[in-house]
Structure 1
Amino acid sequence: MAEGLLRNIYGSRYEAYSAGIMATNVNPYAVRVMKEIGIDISSQYSKTHKEFQDVIFDMAVTVCDRAKVSCPICSTNLEVPVEYPKAREVIHKSFEDPAATLGSEDEKLKVFRQIRDEI
């Protein structure tokens, strides 16, 4: 959702790439709630560090506590082995993981909307 929002709002000023520790599918609830505000993220896909080898990003933003701890892309040490991308600056913002929400479809959508709006 963060990648889609950044591309939509600031796409002429920034390039956004979303990656995770492991490649996964984009959550269908995320696709639905983003579509509600006119942003189509259905063609986005989960990427891993392997797709960004040898890249030095200006900034990396982690959006959950688990990523902050385990994200190799977020190392500000430019001496990290070449197989891992690097970032000159790292920002962390902790959001609840909406995919971890249990409950009815309406309850899940409510949490996805809340996180979308917080981002």
Structure 2
Amino acid sequence: MSTKFQILFLCTGNSARSILAEFLLRKIAPDRFDVFSAGASPKPAPHRLALQVLRDHYKIDVSEARSKSWSEYQGKRFDFVITLCDNAKESCPVWPGQPIIAHWPSPDPAEFEGGDTEKERAFWQVAQQIRRRLELLASLPFEKLDSLRLEAAMKDIGAREALDLDQSVATI
């Protein structure tokens, strides 16, 4: 049996997008990845709507979810580091071992303005975008790709499907 890939999802607050990515990938490909998330300036706790969407829409146990600083993983070797917001991309530290770094931008659902129902839809929309990207990641033939092709594939996943929350939530 081969070793699992080590993957880290980064965002500024580690309260929404990176938490969604961490728990969704744990569900999608638990045998292929050890999954972590962190933030540059972590919030005190994950956003309640991120946890609600994971529980209600994906039936994921989020009892272990917590916001973490990326300094918690200083010195840890990762195979992949994926930033989910522009701030994390710009301030991302150097990680040991030369991991493949990709940027998969998603809008911050915590910044969406509207009623409770619309806010939950915004979190669900972002979760769906992240889930689709994670399914593409999990389906990559890692054993057949050299590091340059793998890096290109990771960047291509992040370039797919831009999401405008104001427009997508309004159309649901």
Gaps of 5+ in 2: 1-19, 131-172
> Are positions 1:16 and 2:35 aligned together?
yes
Question: Aligned partner of 2:52: which letter?
Answer: R
Share of identical aligned residues, percent? 36
1:52 is aligned to: 73
Moved over 4 A (4+): none
Q: Deviation per CA, 1:97-119, whole angstroms, max 9, x where unpaired?
A: 11111111111001000001111
CA change 1:115–1:91 in 2 (3 A) is same
Q: What is the CA RMSD across the aligned residues, in angstroms?
A: 1.5
Q: Deviation per CA, 1:63-110, whole angstroms, max 9, x where unpaired?
A: 1112111222xx36x4xxxxxxx6511011110011111111111001
**Structure-1 separation of matches of 2:61 and 2:126:** 17
2:26 is aligned to: 7
Of residues 83, 91, 108, the one that matches 2:102 is: 91
The TM-score normalised by the length of structure 2 is 0.59
Q: How far off is 1:53 after superposition?
A: 2.1
**Structure-1 separation of matches of 2:41 and 2:34:** 21
**Structure-1 separation of matches of 2:39 and 2:75:** 17
**Structure-2 separation of matches of 1:13 and 1:45:** 22
Question: Aligned partner of 1:65: which letter?
Answer: D
Of residues 94, 100, 104, the one that matches 2:115 is: 104
**Structure-1 separation of matches of 2:47 and 2:104:** 20
Q: Which has the higher helix share?
A: 2
1:7-86 correspondence runs (5 A): 7-24=26-43, 25-36=45-56, 37-72=58-93, 75=94, 78=96
The TM-score normalised by the length of structure 1 is 0.84
**Structure-2 separation of matches of 1:96 and 1:67:** 13
SS in 2 for 1:31: helix
Kindly indicate whether the alpha-carbon contact (under 8 Å) linking 1:7 and 1:14 is maintained by their aligned counterparts in 2: yes
Gaps of 5+ in 1: 79-85
